[in-house]
Amino acid sequence: MKIWRNTPKDSILVGISLTQFAVTFALASTWNAAPLPVEVGGGVLLTLMMTYNIIVVSHLFTHVPWFRSDRLNAVVSLVNSVNIGQSVQAYQLSHVRNHHRFNNDRQDADGRTRDTSSTYRRGKNGQHEPLLPYALGGAVDSVVGRAKDVASTVRFWKVGPREESLLSLASRREQRRTRELRQVRADRAAHCLSLAAFAVISWQWTLLCYLPAFFLALALVNVQNYYRHYGANPEDRASDSVSYYNRFYNFIAFNDGYHQEHHLSPGTHWSQMPKVNERNREKLAARPRVVSPVPAILGFLDRKRPLLHESEVERAG
C-alpha cells in the first residue's frame, strides 16, 4: 500500500521532523548539567533547527502534505507544531491562503496590504518597510500571538470568535472547515503541553534558551521572507519574488531557492520546481526580475540587487 502522496523522498523531511523533536527534548534534559559552551551551542542549534523547519520543512508540508492519510498528516502537523512553537495548520491557513493569494502586495489607497506578511505593510511611499522593524517587529507580533494561543488553554485551545483573521481563512466547506479548525486546536494543545513539559524538565532551559531561540528563529524567518521579495516587482506575477539557483543550497533546502517558481505554482511538489522553471523559461526571461547571488536569509549581502519595485513607483508617479 502506498503511503506517500507524492514521493518517498518526503520520508527525509519526516526524518528531519522527528530528529528535531527528539533533539529538542534532549537539549532540555541535559541543560542543567551542561557547561556554558555546550549551553550556548545548544541554543544556537535550537535556533537553527526552528528556523530551518519553518523555512523549509513545515513550509513544504503546508503546501503539499506528505502522506495520503489525513491521520498521518495530522500527526506530522502535531510534531512540527512542537518543533516550530506554533500551529502548523494555522501557518498553512495564513501562508497558503493569504500570502500566496496576495503575493506581498503593496499598500492600497487606504494604506493597507491584503497580504498580512507583506514587506510593504508598514512601508512608506510605495517602499518596503526597513528590514529591522520588519524582522524584529514581526517576531514580537508572533510571540504575542503565541502567548494568546497559550492563554486559550482556558477554552481548551479552541479557535475563538475574536480570531476573525484565522476564521476568515478557514475553508467555507463545512466538513473541511471543521477539520482545519480542529487541527489548529490540536496543534495548539501539542505546543502548549510541550511548553509545560519543557518547564518541568528544566524551567531554566525553557526561560533562558528555548524562548530566546524561538524569538531569534522568528526574526531570521522574517529576514528570509524579506529578501525573498525585496526589490521584486509586486505588480508582475512573473517577477514578484526572488530566486536563488545555487545547486548545493537547493539540495540541502529541498529547492527552496526556486521562490519565483514557487509563487507561479505554489501547489507543485518541491521536487518539481526545476521543471516549473523550465516550463516558464520564456516568460521569466522576457522581463526584468531579481535573481539573488546569495540565499535569501543572507540577502543583505546582495548590494547590487536591482530594485524593480522603485521603477513601478516612478511609473505610477
Whether residues 173 and 221 fall in one domain: yes
Q: What is the mean pLDDT of the chain?
A: 95
State the pTM of this model.
0.96
pLDDT digits (tens, 9 = 90+) for 231-255: 999 999 999 999 999 999 999 999 9
Coil, helix or strand at residue 243: strand
Query: Number of C-alpha atoms within 13 angstroms, CB side, residue 246?
Result: 10
When pLDDT is cut at 50, 70 and 90, the band that residue 1 belongs to is: low
Whether residues 247 and 208 fall in one domain: no
Whether residues 168 and 49 fall in one domain: yes
The answer to whether residue 4 sits within a structural domain is: no
The answer to whether residue 181 sits within a structural domain is: yes
The answer to whether residue 5 sits within a structural domain is: no
Whether residues 74 and 119 fall in one domain: yes
Q: How many domains does the chain have?
A: 2
The answer to whether residue 148 sits within a structural domain is: yes
Whether residues 191 and 260 fall in one domain: no
Whether residues 263 and 197 fall in one domain: no
Whether residues 78 and 121 fall in one domain: yes
When pLDDT is cut at 50, 70 and 90, the band that residue 311 belongs to is: confident
- Segment 60-82 shows an average pLDDT of 98
Q: Compute the Cα dihedral for 146, 149, 153, 157 and give only its sign.
A: negative
Whether residues 291 and 191 fall in one domain: no
The answer to whether residue 276 sits within a structural domain is: yes
Tell me the C-alpha to C-alpha distance, in Å, between residue 5 and each of 2, 61, 96.
Answer: 8, 11, 19
- Segment 47-67 shows an average pLDDT of 98
In this prediction, residue 53 carries a pLDDT of 98
315 pLDDT exceeds 70?
A: no
The answer to whether residue 3 sits within a structural domain is: no
Residues 6+ apart with CB under 8 A from 179: 70
314 pLDDT exceeds 70?
A: no
pLDDT digits (tens, 9 = 90+) for 227-236: 999 999 999 9
Whether residues 255 and 220 fall in one domain: no
Checking 281-289 for CB contacts under 8 A at 24+ apart, the result is: 283/238, 284/238, 284/239, 284/260, 286/238, 287/236, 287/238, 287/239, 288/233, 288/239, 289/232, 289/233, 289/236, 289/238, 289/239, 289/260
Comparing CA positions, the residue from 8, 107, 124 lying closest to residue 67 is 8
Whether residues 65 and 94 fall in one domain: yes
pLDDT digits (tens, 9 = 90+) for 296-307: 999 999 999 999
The answer to whether residue 129 sits within a structural domain is: yes
Whether residues 199 and 70 fall in one domain: yes
Cell reading at 303: 548590494
Whether residues 305 and 285 fall in one domain: yes
52 pLDDT exceeds 80?
A: yes
- Domain interval for residue 210: 10-227
16-38 core/surface letters (b: 16 or more CB in 10 A; e: else): bbeebbeebeebbeebeeeeeee
pLDDT digits (tens, 9 = 90+) for 128-181: 999 999 999 999 999 999 999 999 988 999 999 999 999 999 999 999 999 999
The answer to whether residue 261 sits within a structural domain is: yes
- Segment 171-199 shows an average pLDDT of 97
211 pLDDT exceeds 60?
A: yes
* Domain boundary pick from 227, 256, 287: 227
* Domain boundary pick from 180, 196, 227: 227
Phi–psi pair at 4, nearest 5 degrees: -90, 135
* Domain boundary pick from 183, 209, 227: 227
In this prediction, residue 317 carries a pLDDT of 52
313 pLDDT exceeds 70?
A: no
In this prediction, residue 304 carries a pLDDT of 94
Comparing CA positions, the residue from 145, 115, 85, 77 lying closest to residue 241 is 115
Residues 6+ apart with CB under 8 A from 259: 228, 241, 242, 243, 244, 296
